[in-house]
Structure 1
């Protein structure tokens, strides 16, 4: 009895806790849950959110224009390239594939209000002026950029310095009248709508797919090829180059300041959506989509994320407002505290108060010692039945328990005794465990010598059973794979050291 009472149960193998790989940004963007998944018949070429609440959005896929949250979908007379809302959300403007007209129509009544004629080819980019509601800038495959007066349906200024298709543009929020456009001629040109000439020129060295001004107006992001370049507009120099994508980057988006702060989103033909911290331009989150991404937009409130792919998949993810939920909870708690009933001695509940109260920090708590329950392998070790203790640990299928029992057997010098006289089925279970975990860095220091001991002790049993031969072959293959992996990693480490030394010198 004294030996039984002094026996210390075998504890699980304690390993260092792995660091949580999820950062604050990853947790924030993972809260975007998929709510809408729509299969369009054609590739989704444009997604644009309404600037005003409740932030409806429009989607273009060939001749189909879909309004999310508005129960309507209709087809235009011509294929559409680009849609955008007016800053007040009342009107929608569309650029046509033919380039002969640009249609302005009411988002509610769908009535065509204006037709802007002048481009001879497809209009790939259109955008309302943020400073007023009367002017529009457009870029076309006819290599021209035009500044339109919507009321008169005429082009006030024509910019014709690009030598290839104009596919993107952006408005400078800090300087009204200043715009930039990107073209397939590898250049980004800055325009002043008061003149007919460009005021600045930037060379991206790749066909431009999207450009985006930062809110300060002094930084500009350009996407072309698989690179995103961040420019200092005043100095005309590249600050940094983001080469995190494998294929062409199609869309750029800057989130508005919110719970996640300002982040730069990039979408590419490699199917990846990546989020960059604008402080150091490092990737803080990435999401994979099932096809090449052609269109992407985020609502101004940063609660909805819409992505369109070349296969016609439209994915919309929405995030619940955590702040509003917390405010509602706090309001309920405050109201509950104000309406709390005051108990008096005339009330029976007065004598029951405190029964459910929790202990305060100043209270002294007397803890009760709980007797640890012994597991089956502990009882068997207590009786020196080493073989049965090992089998009981293997039956738990918990590697931490098995490793702890093997360590205890090694300390007691009973490992060889435990491996002796094992039946064929018991040996198969042991070999299967070794095959699965012998290459794990957590357990290899103990399991490799244990595997050697198994082969030394049970070598005669392997020749008598075909199933044991198969298990030994599997174990051999697992060890060979680990050896090849270690050799490859060492070769890779040598190459990295060579590159580092070359970079230093």
Structure 2
């Protein structure tokens, strides 16, 4: 009886975990911010504020001045307000962009005309540096917080103090107005608390314990949630639920200095806002507001002191401790809301035909799209085209198959061929009986890739077997001796490292077990 030979099955290369991280639409959106425009200041950039009116100029506070930059051309300095005796703090636009308020090291809160830079009002009740100054929603009042542990509510029209809010026991360093109620304010201090105030009654509504000195506070767009920054974490509070701690986000290594809620975010303007936070570890991280996971992170060369994002999400500004202001512009700016009402030209849209079956482009759509490293690829059924190492394996020429795999210079190919040879019992014939020209490429490949974790287990076993096989011929060729010596040293180094890691794992295991047992409820 005659048997027909079975069809040869092409060698399936072993697939390893992809090294690249899948790019998401969220990551693509934040990566579309262009290279930053860098502007050196005279001191650390302690505060950044964007005007709410187009073209969304930004005011940065650094050293003894407040500098206003053009929102359309971030590199262009509009005006510089330098009427401070000492360090300036918290330069902030009024909602219409006509006035600017700022605190100072001398405790004076000043109101300036944004165009002429002239001083319109000075409030002098604070006895120590005033680090916080914010405009009220009615444009007629200013809230200030000082190192004298007081919060004060000022009437800009009369130039007098309306309220003094006492309750903090340490420096007041943060304040924010609720978007749901113009009379509700949140302040944060170094006494580890966030306090909610009602300026109609002059009393504290709620006191929230952050657990660390509070550097910044912000409200969510609906006003029902608030976030406080301090220590190396963020705290999200449910204000409707009586100030319940909703989430603690410990995603930073050092103190979180600033937090902002973006008005628009994500791949389109209909997406929910995002939360941005900067830290002294040099990172600015973006959080989505459903599960509060980090969707994007950017590393800056210096500790981040302040950040701001324009109302149309076109500009992202970051201030650093080394006196650097970084402003990044989105490469596809969106037209501001209400542009037609402001008399601005509508953006020109490139006309494109509707994509239907009547267009040739309909049938070729998606062909130029590149698949990500983690995508599942469905290949067409084509006639198998055998590689040289497949042809050698088909003919049981194991040594030639290994040489062909080495010629490809792809470690995953060599690993797959070695595993196939071991499964067939052909590893001995493939490694033995080699002369110097055919032995050197194999030894060099093992030396180069034996320390890579994905190939260590396989290549280490092959390397030891190779050293045992060629130990009797050491001394015949100086070049081969040097290559074998390098391989032996690399294997010894890798084994020593694996032994150290095993000892470390053994030492950590009882500690982790004890920690887990202590965390479980009794």
Do they fold alike, i.e. is TM over 0.5?
Answer: yes
Structure 1 position 237 matched with structure 2 position 244 = yes
Partner of 1:217: 223
Q: What whole-Å deviation, never above 9, does each CA across 1:436-489 have from its counterpart, x for those lacking one? A: 434555445543442343133222244662442122111221233234334534
Compared with structure 1, are the counterparts of its residues 33 and 203 closer, same or farther at alpha carbon in structure 2 (3 Å cutoff)?
same
* Secondary structure class of the residue paired with 2:352: helix
Structure 1 position 97 matched with structure 2 position 105 = yes
Compared with structure 1, are the counterparts of its residues 101 and 262 closer, same or farther at alpha carbon in structure 2 (3 Å cutoff)?
closer
Compared with structure 1, are the counterparts of its residues 374 and 120 closer, same or farther at alpha carbon in structure 2 (3 Å cutoff)?
same
Compared with structure 1, are the counterparts of its residues 358 and 29 closer, same or farther at alpha carbon in structure 2 (3 Å cutoff)?
closer
Matches within 5 A, 1:279-318: 279-318=290-329
Counterpart contact for 2:463–2:487, Cα < 8 Å:
no
Q: 1:115 Cα deviation (Å)?
A: 3.1
Partner of 1:344: none
Structure 1 position 82 matched with structure 2 position 82 = no
| Structure 2: distance between partners of 1:427 and 1:73 | 72
Counterpart contact for 2:388–2:404, Cα < 8 Å:
yes
| Structure 1: distance between partners of 2:130 and 2:501 | 53
Q: 1:43 Cα deviation (Å)?
A: 1.0
Partner of 1:144: 150
| Structure 1: distance between partners of 2:203 and 2:518 | 46
Partner of 2:340: none
Matches within 5 A, 1:453-472: 453-462=465-474, 465-472=481-488
| Structure 1: distance between partners of 2:464 and 2:486 | 17
| Structure 2: distance between partners of 1:50 and 1:164 | 30
Counterpart contact for 2:314–2:334, Cα < 8 Å:
no
Partner of 1:271: 282
Counterpart contact for 1:47–1:59, Cα < 8 Å:
yes
Q: 1:125 Cα deviation (Å)?
A: 0.7
* Secondary structure class of the residue paired with 2:117: coil
| Structure 2: distance between partners of 1:242 and 1:16 | 29
Partner of 1:246: 253
Question: Relative to total residues, which structure has the larger helix share, 1 or 2?
Answer: 1
Structure 1 position 415 matched with structure 2 position 415 = no
Matches within 5 A, 1:161-240: 161-234=167-240, 235-240=242-247
Q: How many residues align?
A: 477
Partner of 1:333: 352
Counterpart contact for 2:150–2:172, Cα < 8 Å:
yes
For the aligned residues, what is the CA RMSD? 3.6
In structure 2, runs of 5+ residues without a counterpart are: 71-75, 336-345, 366-379
Partner of 2:493: 477
| Structure 2: distance between partners of 1:373 and 1:458 | 36
* Secondary structure class of the residue paired with 1:121: coil
Q: 1:273 Cα deviation (Å)?
A: 1.9
Partner of 2:462: 450
Counterpart contact for 1:252–1:267, Cα < 8 Å:
yes
Matches within 5 A, 1:38-57: 38-57=39-58
> Which shows bigger deviation, 159-168 or 134-143?
159-168
Q: 1:102 Cα deviation (Å)?
A: 1.0
Compared with structure 1, are the counterparts of its residues 102 and 451 closer, same or farther at alpha carbon in structure 2 (3 Å cutoff)?
same
| Structure 2: distance between partners of 1:244 and 1:415 | 49
Q: 1:76 Cα deviation (Å)?
A: 0.4
| TM score, norm. by length of structure 1 | 0.82
Compared with structure 1, are the counterparts of its residues 101 and 133 closer, same or farther at alpha carbon in structure 2 (3 Å cutoff)?
closer
| Structure 2: distance between partners of 1:358 and 1:216 | 45
| Structure 1: distance between partners of 2:424 and 2:210 | 70
Q: 1:271 Cα deviation (Å)?
A: 1.7
Q: 1:75 Cα deviation (Å)?
A: 5.4
| Structure 2: distance between partners of 1:298 and 1:488 | 45
Q: 1:372 Cα deviation (Å)?
A: 5.7
Partner of 2:262: 255
Partner of 1:13: 14
Counterpart contact for 2:236–2:248, Cα < 8 Å:
yes
| Structure 1: distance between partners of 2:134 and 2:140 | 11
Structure 1 position 114 matched with structure 2 position 115 = no
Counterpart contact for 1:424–1:468, Cα < 8 Å:
no
In structure 1, runs of 5+ residues without a counterpart are: 341-353, 361-367
Compared with structure 1, are the counterparts of its residues 28 and 355 closer, same or farther at alpha carbon in structure 2 (3 Å cutoff)?
closer
Q: 1:221 Cα deviation (Å)?
A: 1.7
Structure 1 position 390 matched with structure 2 position 402 = yes
Q: 1:295 Cα deviation (Å)?
A: 0.8
Partner of 1:351: none
